[in-house]
Every structure is written in C-alpha cells, then in structure tokens.
Chains A and B, each alone.
Chain A
Amino acid sequence: MKQSKLWFTLFIAPILFAFIVVVIVPMIVGIYYSFTDWDAIRTGSWVGFDNYARVFKDKDFFNSFVFTTKFAIISVISINIIGFILALLVTQDHKISNFLRSVFFLPNLIGGLILGFIWQFIFTRGFDAVGKLMGIEFLQGWLSDTTTGFWGLVILMSWQMSGYMMVIYIAALQNIPQSLLEAADIDGANSWHKLKHITIPLVAPAFTVGVFLALSCSFKLYDQNLALTGGGPYNSTQMLALNIYNTAFRFRDFGGAQAKAVIFLLIVAAITLTQVYIGKKREVEM
C-alpha cells in the first residue's frame, strides 16, 4: 500500500507541480491581488473593492465589453453558418472534396497575429484598390473607423474559424445513418426537407459544441485584435483581453487590470459552464 502511494506521487507530481505553479497559484494570488494596489514590483496593500469600483466606472472597459459582446454574437453566427455550409459542400463526395477541405481549413493553422497582419493588408490595400478601380466608396478606408474595424474583425474570424467548425460538422454529418436519408429519398423528400428534418436535428449536438467554442474564442480574442486594428481608432475596437493588457502594461494600473481579469474569468467561466450544462441536459434527455 505504501509503495503504491509512492508510485502515484512519482507519476503525478511533475505535471501537478507545473499545473499548480502556473495555473492554480496565479489564479488564487490573482484574486487576492485584485483587492490590493500592487504594481508588479511591490505586493501592495489591501484596498478592498476600490479596484472594482474603478473598473465599473471605466468607460473604456465598458465599451470594450459591449464591443466584445457584439462581436462575439455576430461572429458566432457567421462562423457556424459558414462552417456548416462548408461541411455540407465538402461531404457531397466530389473528386476534389479532400482538396477543398484542406483549403477551407488552411487559415486555422496560422497564428492569429500573422492572420491579423495579412488582413490588415487586404483591407487597407486590397479593398482600397478594388474600391478605387470599380468606384465603390464602401470598400475604401477600411479599418479607419469603428464600423469597418468591427466588420474587419468579423470577416477575419469567420475566415479563420469556419474551417475549424467545418471539421466538427463533417464528423457530425458522417454520423448520420445513410439508411435514414435513403428512406427519405424513397418517400420522395427533396433535399431541403432532408436537410430540415433529418440533417439539422441530428447535427444539433455539434451545433452546441460549435457555438460555445466560437463564443469562448471570440471572447478571449487577443492576437487578431492586436494585429488587425490594435484597438484603434481611439480604443473603439479594443476587446476585453487587449483592454486588460493595456491597463496593466500601458497604464501601469495592475490592481485595476487584475480586477478586470477576475471579471473576465467569471464571464468566460459562465459561458463554458452553460455549455457543459446544456450538454449534460441533452445526454439525460437522450
């Protein structure tokens, strides 16, 4: 018995140690720090809810919360719809289906920072050139105001993540029993009916995964935000993660930044827990 405890410790201790030092301790310390006036060098003294009071009065933070939420809602919808359509298209059994899958998935491999720079070029140069060539004013001056910055981020994220969703939906589509679709064929159902009454209901669990995955990714977005708009103009496209970073490293307000970080933790955890709850509920129903 003694010996088995020793083995248990030996096998689990290394990764548990790293996990505790890197995740658990900073989380607990972070909650404590959010109630102090620490400045990244000195530990600071207890200030109660001062940091939180300041954060709730911080207009920039409120704006970035609103911006992030709007962005998350729109991009979750567009990422999942495009991803689902792509999955339907590439499961039609063409010779080039595999090639198409690789193409749609490609943007996913590349880091958000590089993707942000690529699209900065496309929006500011590519769009501009096409706009001038064809006399479309709407395509000119992208990323220079809040609206185009917003839609720029949505386009970038849809381009990047819909291939990822496609992979998830392909797996779900392949789990649909062929016999069901064949039976529907015999009954004279058309493609639209099959999609509506068989495919979509059976893919529903994957939709839950897709929606929440996109939701938490959108809320945590940092690299793409930094590289595409940098939060500008005038912080109007600054999302939560970037706001926290800037509060700490630009304004040197570590207490405030950590209070924001704790609020951020609560938001993201709530999103994920809702997903788990819905998943569990569905399992029970089935």
Chain B
Amino acid sequence: MSSNKHRSKKVILIISILLAIIFLAPFYLVLTNSFKTQQGIFLNVMRLPFGDFFNPQNYIEAFKQLNYIRSFLNSLFITVFSTIIIIIFSSMAAWMLVRTKTKLSTFLFFLFTSAMLIPFQSVMLPLVNIMGRLGLLNPIGLIFMYLGFGSSLSIILYHGFVKNIPIELEEAATIDGCSPIQIFLYIIFPLLKPITVTVSILNVMWIWNDFLLPQLVINKPQWHTIPLKMFYFFGQYSRRWDLALAGLVISMIPIITFYFIVQKHIIKGITQGSIK
C-alpha cells in the first residue's frame, strides 16, 4: 500500500515536470533563437546558438529600434502614476462609501460594481472621441482614463476590506477632534496595507501589459509604451525573426523581474481579485 502510494507520487511528479517543460518550451525557443542569425533560425530552429549561428548583435539592434530606455520609462511612468492615483482615490472613496449609510452611497457602490459588466470595446469609440475633444489624447489623459477604468475593481476590493475594520477606532478619533482627512491618513490607510498590495499588483499587471487603450490614445511615437513599440516594431520586421525575437525577450524582462520580486503577493492578489 505504502510503496504503491510512493510510486503514484513519483508518477505525478514526472507528469508535472513534463508539463512544466512543455509550458517553458516556447520561452526556451524564443530565447535560444534570439541569439541566432536570421539564417540560423531559418536553417534549424532547434540548434543552440553556437558557432556561425551565434549573433548577439540582434539585441543591440532591437534595443535601438525599440528605443528601449525611452519606451521602458514611458511604460514605467504611466503604470506607476496610474496605480498611485487609483490607490489614493479608490481607497478614499471606498472608505467613505462604507462609512456613509445613505441611499446615495449604496447607489454609487452599485454603479461602480455594475460597471464591471462593461467591456472596454463597447465604450472605446465614444471615449476616444470625447477625449480628443478635451485635448486629452496624451499620457496625462491616459492616466486619467486608467483611473476611470481601474475604479470599479479597486473600489470593490477596498470596500470589502474596509467593512471588516471596526468603527470604534474612528469614533474615538472623531471625539478627539480629528478631521476625516486625518482619520483616513493616519488610521485607515495604514490598516489597508494588505489590500493595497493586492490592488497595486492587479493594476500594475493590467496597465503595464495594456495595448489597446494606449494604441487608441497615444499618437506621438515618443510616448509609445513597450507593448505599443513592440507592435510597430514587429510590423516593420515581421520577416526578421532574429530582431523580432530579441525584441520580444527584452520587452518581457521587466515584468518577469517584477514577478520574481513580488511573486507571493501576485498569487494572493489573483485569488482575491477573481473571487470578488
């Protein structure tokens, strides 16, 4: 019985490892081929990038063509600022919505929740039209739009968390003469830290990888984010896999690095985000 169990455990382990290899295979092929010459890729995809196949110049060329530093900083700027304002304004709003027991606050929370139903494509055309009229088809406008689109999920997550914070603390602070701003800043916001981590991660991953909204909003090449730059780069070099693959690798590096730093929180965040 016990040796039987032992054996089945081993079988499961082997199956798992095989699956992991299959999952990693695409990354492996992209990585090895990104170091090869165009001809090397064409002649043999499986061969490792040694000898006359070896061509690390791909990376220098892709780095230049993608205007990598600039695109990276653009992505970083847009992602970080959007996430910060989403955090600030959604936590403030969620706290107020929980603590105010009026018909209006119930209605507003309902409005934010039901907006989860709306797919982006159904509002994108009028949105771009309106933003164009307001002169906001630029990075600032983009950050503003992320605030609007990020509001629903972030408020729902904060709302659920605030509900479990006992109100006594705030009442005592009010009696001591604290204003709501002070209460929020010094008492509530620090308590929200675990959910703030979750909300930040979910928003960072979404905004960093987002393609369609920047494609519609950003028309100046100097403001292109990494996915946007990659799209045009790929269109230009679709027959040059050597350059395209090197470009793909360097455009994946930041988010993978981010993953290995905050991995534990990502898994937790996904679980919370999906159940809500």
Q: Kindly list chain A residues whose C-beta atoms are within 8 Å of the C-beta of B74.
A: none
Chain B residue nearest to A243 (CB atoms) is B121
Q: Kindly list chain B residues whose C-beta atoms are within 8 Å of the C-beta of A90.
A: 16
Q: Are B20 and A29 in contact (CB under 8 A)?
A: no
Interface-located stretch among B48-56, B58-66, B86-94: B86-94
Question: Is A195 in the interface zone, CB < 8 Å from B?
Answer: no
- Contacts known (A220-B121, A223-B211); A114 close to B24, Cβ less than 8 A: no
A24 to B130, CA, bound (A): 12
Q: How many A-B residue pairs have CB under 8 A?
A: 249
A261 to B108, CA, bound (A): 25
A26 to B134, CA, bound (A): 13
Q: Could you tell me how many residues of chain B have their Cβ less than 8 Å away from some Cβ of chain A?
A: 86
A14 to B211, CA, bound (A): 25
Q: Kindly list chain B residues whose C-beta atoms are within 8 Å of the C-beta of A167.
A: 267, 270-271, 274
Q: Are A220 and B180 in contact (CB under 8 A)?
A: no
Q: Are A113 and B16 in contact (CB under 8 A)?
A: no
A268 to B121, CA, bound (A): 11
> A126 touches which one: B29, B105, B149, B275 (CB < 8 A)?
B29
Q: Kindly list chain B residues whose C-beta atoms are within 8 Å of the C-beta of A72.
A: none
Q: Are A118 and B30 in contact (CB under 8 A)?
A: yes
Within the complex, what minimum Cβ distance (angstroms) separates B239 from chain A?
11
Q: Are A15 and B149 in contact (CB under 8 A)?
A: no
A35 to B209, CA, bound (A): 34
Q: Are B90 and A15 in contact (CB under 8 A)?
A: yes
Q: Are B44 and A129 in contact (CB under 8 A)?
A: yes
> A23 touches which one: B149, B241, B258, B267 (CB < 8 A)?
B149
Q: Are B127 and A26 in contact (CB under 8 A)?
A: yes
Q: Are A27 and B118 in contact (CB under 8 A)?
A: yes
| Interfacial residues of chain A within 148-186, with CB under 8 A of chain B in the complex | 159, 163-164, 167-168, 170-171
> A26 touches which one: B33, B130, B208, B255 (CB < 8 A)?
B130
Q: Are A29 and B16 in contact (CB under 8 A)?
A: no
Question: Is B100 in the interface zone, CB < 8 Å from A?
Answer: yes
Within the complex, what minimum Cβ distance (angstroms) separates A51 from chain B?
12
A105 to B259, CA, bound (A): 10
Chain B residue nearest to A25 (CB atoms) is B130
Question: Is B172 in the interface zone, CB < 8 Å from A?
Answer: no
A262 to B121, CA, bound (A): 9
> B119 touches which one: A121, A248, A258, A268 (CB < 8 A)?
A268
Q: Are B93 and A40 in contact (CB under 8 A)?
A: no
Q: Are B126 and A33 in contact (CB under 8 A)?
A: yes
Q: Are A105 and B267 in contact (CB under 8 A)?
A: yes
Chain B residue nearest to A265 (CB atoms) is B122
Question: Is B263 in the interface zone, CB < 8 Å from A?
Answer: yes
Question: Is A202 in the interface zone, CB < 8 Å from B?
Answer: no
A38 to B211, CA, bound (A): 25
- Contacts known (A111-B211, A111-B227); A125 close to B41, Cβ less than 8 A: yes
Chain A residue nearest to B259 (CB atoms) is A109
Within the complex, what minimum Cβ distance (angstroms) separates B14 from chain A?
11
Question: Is A11 in the interface zone, CB < 8 Å from B?
Answer: yes
Q: Are B130 and A21 in contact (CB under 8 A)?
A: yes
Per DSSP, chain A at the interface is helix
Question: Is A257 in the interface zone, CB < 8 Å from B?
Answer: yes
Q: Are A106 and B122 in contact (CB under 8 A)?
A: no
> B151 touches which one: A18, A112, A272 (CB < 8 A)?
A18
| Interfacial residues of chain A within 80-129, with CB under 8 A of chain B in the complex | 86, 89-90, 92, 94, 96, 100-107, 109-114, 117-119, 121-122, 125-126, 128-129
Q: Are A248 and B125 in contact (CB under 8 A)?
A: yes
Within the complex, what minimum Cβ distance (angstroms) separates A87 from chain B?
11
Q: Kindly list chain A residues whose C-beta atoms are within 8 Å of the C-beta of B19.
A: 86, 89, 104
**B112-154 near A? 1/0 per residue, CB < 8 Å:** 1001111111111111111000000000000011011101100
**B13-30 near A? 1/0 per residue, CB < 8 Å:** 101110110011111011
A273 to B116, CA, bound (A): 10
Q: Kindly list chain B residues whose C-beta atoms are within 8 Å of the C-beta of A241.
A: 119, 121
Within the complex, what minimum Cβ distance (angstroms) separates B150 from chain A?
9
A196 to B99, CA, bound (A): 45
Q: Are A22 and B147 in contact (CB under 8 A)?
A: yes
A129 to B46, CA, bound (A): 8
Q: Kindly list chain B residues whose C-beta atoms are within 8 Å of the C-beta of A113.
A: 209, 211, 227, 230-231
> A109 touches which one: B29, B184, B256 (CB < 8 A)?
B256
> A220 touches which one: B30, B108, B119, B230 (CB < 8 A)?
B119
Nearest 7 pairs of A and B residues by beta carbon: A22-B148, A111-B209, A265-B122, A15-B89, A11-B96, A26-B123, A18-B148
4 further A-B pairs in the complex, CB-CB below 8 A; given A11-B93, A38-B129, A106-B27: A16-B93, A96-B17, A104-B23, A110-B256
Interchain residue pairs with CB less than 8 A apart (19): A11-B92, A23-B148, A23-B149, A26-B124, A27-B122, A40-B128, A100-B17, A106-B259, A113-B209, A113-B230, A118-B248, A126-B29, A159-B23, A168-B274, A222-B212, A245-B212, A248-B125, A269-B118, A273-B117
